[in-house]
């Protein structure tokens, strides 16, 4: 076995207490490991900075502890590896999407101590994908969102050259107007935090399972706005399930672009100018409502 497969096998054996029968590498950072007895687990090599695996494990446990959404069980982690259950693959269905909408509404309602609060055993200096994400507590969502989710990534995008200094002014105008643009005040929700289509697994059991969280306390509309970004099967049914469980406040569709600023800016920092242009379009859309 190559070094990645050997490391994945050793991590799986260490954290499950079972011997390894085989390893199937799925990517540069992910492997499927078959254990003695036939059980299969997923082993992920930490691809962020220090503490990335700990932050992800803490997020999965925090979401799982809510007893609402389905997440794979965590077997263990160290600084390099995270071992979780495998979710057997299925197909998306309208029924699973509607059920996920109800489950997300229930998850958000379990709340968080503050905007920006990390999971109890998580990190203040965490990650969203490969990007650093600081979890700083706040009590006022517009101010917190501006200071800890929008402006830090605007500055990074300018520093790496994917945004021009004059373009940053569009985001600064949005942040200045956030108190009037944000809609009615809401309590902190327990968020998945990186809820795009690729982090939802449609399972053989007919349910949707969530993986790879950047969990923290935030505004519930942020999770839903992320689902709108890159295409999501049966999104209309998911929203129906959500609305029947915990109706969103008036005007929420007009705020989707506002909540998309955070993930789009993260993508601009990581992946370049195309996402910066999408972020600029979202900022200008938020300003006109």
Cβ(12)–Cβ(76) under 8 Å? no
CATH number assigned to the domain covering 94-288: 3.90.1200.10
Query: Residue 101 in contact with residue 94, Cβ under 8 Å?
Result: no
Q: Is the pLDDT of residue 170 over 80?
A: yes
- For 15, residues 6+ apart whose C-beta sits below 8 A from its C-beta are 75, 76, 77, 81, 83
C-alpha 34/C-alpha 150 separation (Å) is: 42
The one-character DSSP state at 250 is T
pLDDT score at 28: 85
Cα–Cα distance measured from residue 286 to residue 288, given in angstroms and rounded to the nearest whole number? 6
Instruction: State the chain's mean pLDDT as an integer.
Output: 95
Pairing mode, strands 40-45 and 208-210: unpaired
The confidence score (pLDDT) of residue 3 equals 58
**Over residues 115-134, mean pLDDT:** 93
Average pLDDT, stretch 137-162? 97
At 254-271, the pLDDT tens digits run 999 999 999 999 999 999
Asked if residue 235 lies in contact with residue 228, where contact means CB atoms within 8 angstroms, the answer is yes
Residue identified by tokens 């994945």 is 8
Catalytic residue among 36, 121, 194, 212: 194
Give this prediction's pTM.
0.95
Share of the chain above pLDDT 70, in %: 98
Fold of 3-85: Phosphorylase Kinase; domain 1 (3.30.200)
pLDDT above 90 covers what percent of the chain? 93
Going from N- to C-terminal start, the domains of the chain cover 3-85, 94-288
Q: How many residues does the chain have?
A: 289
Instruction: Specify the pLDDT at position 50.
Output: 76
140 is catalytic: no
**H helix or E strand, kind and range, residue 217:** strand 216-218
Minimum mean pLDDT range among 26-30, 161-165, 236-240: 26-30
């Amino acid at each position: 076995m190559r070094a990645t497969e050997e490391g994945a096998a050793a991590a799986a054996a260490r954290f499950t207490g079972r011997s390894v029968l085989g390893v199937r590498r799925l990517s540069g950072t992910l492997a499927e490991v078959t254990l003695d007895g036939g059980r299969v687990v997923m082993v992920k090599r930490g691809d962020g900075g220090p503490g990335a695996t700990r932050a992800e494990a803490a997020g999965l446990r925090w979401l799982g502890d809510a007893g609402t959404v389905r997440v794979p069980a965590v077997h263990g982690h160290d600084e390099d590896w995270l071992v979780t259950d495998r979710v057997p693959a299925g197909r998306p269905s309208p029924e699973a999407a509607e059920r996920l909408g109800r489950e997300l509404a229930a998850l958000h309602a379990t709340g968080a101590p503050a905007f920006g609060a990390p999971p109890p055993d998580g990190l203040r200096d965490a990650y969203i994908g490969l990007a650093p994400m600081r979890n700083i507590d706040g009590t006022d969502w517009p101010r917190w969102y501006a200071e800890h989710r929008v402006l830090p990534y605007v500055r990074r995008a300018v520093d790496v050259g994917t945004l021009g200094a004059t373009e940053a002014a569009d985001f600064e105008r949005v942040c200045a107007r956030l108190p009037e643009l944000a809609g009615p005040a809401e309590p902190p929700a327990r968020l998945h935090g990186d809820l795009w289509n690729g982090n939802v697994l449609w399972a053989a059991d007919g349910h949707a399972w969530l993986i790879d969280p950047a969990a923290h306390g935030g505004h519930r509309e942020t999770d839903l706005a992320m689902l709108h970004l890159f295409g999501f099967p049966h999104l209309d049914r998911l929203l129906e399930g959500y609305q029947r469980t915990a109706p969103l406040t008036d005007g929420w569709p007009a705020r989707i672009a506002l909540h998309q600023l955070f993930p789009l800016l993260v993508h601009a920092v990581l992946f370049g100018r195309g996402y910066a242009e999408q972020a600029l379009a979202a900022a200008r859309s938020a300003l006109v409502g």
